[in-house]
């Protein structure tokens, strides 16, 4: 666990101590639920909260000190160690950047419209075969999570793989000022966060901020088959390495997925290697391709790459399979956008099995004025897929149902559900042993709650 000198903390943040802590600062946290002895609690302000109100709770949980803003009202009885700064968010970012510089690992930044968390996890798994590797904690990829993830790095870390997420213009640039990436990966570009961007091209340009932040001696890793490849390549000030699912002649790495045999083949400079691969879908094959390509660029042997990739495990609610009463539920409900939704449907369509297949699709959020059209287009695209039933959850997802029915999907096999409880009831009445059910929707819909409701309905613990 890192150790932070009190004088260093004051210098980096431009703050001053109101009574220094007696105990060493061993980690930094902004959530009182994550406090343990030795923590520096950071009192952040948000649109609907003020962390200063929870400073007392942080000390009760064992915090050694708290970082607060000058003039902030902090309800504390007695004397507590406080580091007073002008702006706690800016101070947290400064600490993250300074610790990143102290540790000095090879830092790989990852962004994209879909797949960035999976690529981050796969790439970290590969690099871990060659040295101590740090990574973004879960999906902590914003202006709070990124510096906290950086601050968790031990001094012996050789590689760091960190996500840069966004939903507003300018966010990637600000994150890169903290991250200072050496290498950068852009996974995909698609119609996400259109509530805040006027076009997919605007999203591509925002993603390319990661590439523009790279040094001349860095590396950019891109999807050669993407329509946005030329734009992204032109924004890269350094060497560009590419991965292709379509055997593009100029790509550095070709990836092919044997669906039946669950094998992944990687071809680079005429050399072919095969990986045992339990994770379905072309999108996961592409994700693995980025990790393999980074591993090769870092000088890892094929055996190291294979061994590292074999340790990869997806995070919760990312194609998580669970059997309930003889039915296979696929919980891919962590999040959704038009790109990831189509990838999930394509993967589900290729799965083997003799039972019926059901879709439970929730709202795709943050699409702005394009929301209705994007949902309807998705419905039209899935209409001919041979699904046994379609359940939609939420007002936007209802347009998926409308699009599907417009293209010939039987209306008798469509249920528009207002909430997850209604969807669970419908499933409980309709599904039978041997069926497979895909759950996919944006995080705000919480489709995973259907699993517990169906279990209860089936009388399971």
pLDDT string in tens for the chain (461-residue length): 678 999 999 999 999 999 999 888 999 999 999 999 999 999 999 888 899 999 999 999 999 999 999 988 777 877 899 999 999 999 999 999 999 999 999 999 999 999 999 999 999 999 999 999 999 988 899 999 999 999 999 999 999 999 999 988 999 999 999 999 999 999 999 998 888 899 999 999 999 999 999 999 999 999 999 999 999 999 999 999 999 999 999 999 999 998 776 899 999 988 999 999 999 999 999 999 999 999 999 999 999 999 999 999 998 999 999 999 899 999 999 999 999 999 999 999 988 777 899 999 999 999 999 999 999 999 999 999 999 999 999 999 999 999 999 999 999 999 999 999 999 999 999 999 999 999 999 999 999 999 999 988 754 43
pLDDT of residue 459: 40
Distance, in Å, from the CA atom of 221 to the CA atom of 206, rounded to the nearest integer, reads 16
Put the strands of the sheet holding 327-331 in their side by side order. Answer: 320-324, 327-331, 436-440, 357-362, 389-393, 414-417
Distance of CA 452 to the CA centre of its chain: 24
Q: Count Cα atoms within 13 angstroms, Cβ side, for 233.
A: 14
Task: For the chain, give the longest Cα–Cα distance.
Answer: 71
The pLDDT of residue 170 = 94
Domains and CATH numbers, the chain: 6-87 (3.40.1390.10), 104-309 (3.40.1190.10), 320-457 (3.90.190.20)
Task: Report the number of secondary-structure helices (H) and strands (E) in the chain.
Answer: 16, 20
pLDDT at 192: 86
Q: What is the pLDDT of residue 363?
A: 98
pLDDT at 437: 97
The secondary structure of residue 228, as a DSSP letter, is: T
The pLDDT value given to residue 458: 55
At 138, phi and psi to the nearest 5? 60, -120
pLDDT of residue 1: 65
pLDDT score recorded for residue 461: 39
pLDDT at 46: 85
CA 61 to CA 63: how far, in whole Å?
Answer: 6
Q: How far apart are CA 121 and CA 333, in angstroms?
A: 18
Q: How large is the C-alpha radius of gyration of the chain?
A: 24
Crossing angle of helices 6-13 and 88-103, in 10° steps, is 120
DSSP 25: B
**Cα–Cα distance, 236 to 214 (Å, whole number):** 7
| Cα atoms found within 13 Å of the Cα of residue 259, Cβ hemisphere only | 10
DSSP output for 195-225: TT-SSHHHHHHHHTHHHHTS-TT-EEEEETT
Model pLDDT, residue 261: 67
């Amino acid at each position: 666990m890192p150790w932070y000198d009190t004088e260093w903390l004051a210098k980096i943040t431009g703050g001053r101590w109101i009574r220094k802590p007696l105990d060493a600062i061993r980690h930094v946290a902004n959530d009182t639920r994550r406090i343990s002895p030795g923590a520096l609690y950071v009192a952040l302000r948000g649109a609907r909260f003020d962390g200063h109100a929870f400073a007392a709770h942080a000390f009760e949980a064992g915090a050694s000190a708290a970082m607060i803003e000058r003039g902030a009202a902090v309800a504390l009885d007695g004397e507590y160690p406080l580091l007073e700064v002008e702006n706690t968010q800016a101070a947290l970012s400064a600490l993250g950047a300074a610790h990143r510089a102290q540790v000095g690992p090879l830092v790989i930044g990852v962004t994209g419209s879909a797949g960035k968390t999976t690529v981050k996890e796969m790439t970290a798994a590969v690099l871990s075969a060659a040295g101590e590797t740090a990574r973004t904690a879960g999906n902590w990829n914003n202006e709070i999570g990124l510096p906290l993830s950086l601050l968790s790095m031990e001094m012996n870390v050789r590689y760091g793989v960190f996500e840069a997420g966004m939903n507003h213009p300018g966010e990637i640039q600000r994150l890169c000022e903290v991250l200072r990436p050496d290498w950068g990966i852009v996974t995909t570009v698609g119609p996400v966060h259109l509530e805040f961007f006027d076009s997919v091209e605007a999203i591509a340009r925002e993603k390319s901020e990661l590439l523009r932040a790279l040094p001349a001696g860095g590396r950019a890793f891109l999807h050669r088959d993407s329509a946005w490849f030329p734009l992204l390549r032109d924004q890269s000030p350094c060497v560009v390495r590419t991965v292709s699912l379509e055997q593009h002649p100029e790509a550095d790495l070709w990836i092919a997925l044997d669906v039946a045999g669950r094998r992944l083949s990687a071809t680079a400079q005429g050399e072919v290697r095969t990986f045992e691969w339990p994770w379905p879908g072309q999108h996961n094959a592409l994700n693995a391709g980025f990790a393999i390509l980074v591993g090769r660029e870092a000088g890892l042997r094929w055996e190291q790459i294979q061994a590292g990739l074999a340790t990869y495990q997806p995070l919760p609610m990312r194609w998580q399979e669970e059997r309930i009463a003889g039915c296979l539920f696929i919980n891919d409900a962590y999040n959704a956008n038009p790109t990831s939704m189509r990838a999930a449907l394509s993967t589900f369509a290729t799965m083997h099995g003799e039972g019926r297949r059901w879709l439970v699709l929730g709202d795709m959020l943050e699409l702005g004025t394009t929301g209705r059209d994007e949902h309807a287009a998705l419905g039209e695209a899935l209409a001919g897929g041979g699904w046994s039933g379609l359940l939609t959850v939420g007002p936007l997802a209802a347009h998926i149902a409308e699009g599907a029915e417009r293209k010939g999907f039987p209306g008798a096999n469509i249920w528009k559900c207002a909430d997850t409880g209604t969807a669970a009831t419908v499933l409980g009445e309709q599904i039978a042993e041997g069926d497979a059910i895909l759950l996919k929707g944006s995080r705000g819909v919480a489709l995973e709650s259907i699993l517990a409701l169906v279990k209860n309905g089936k009388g399971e613990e």
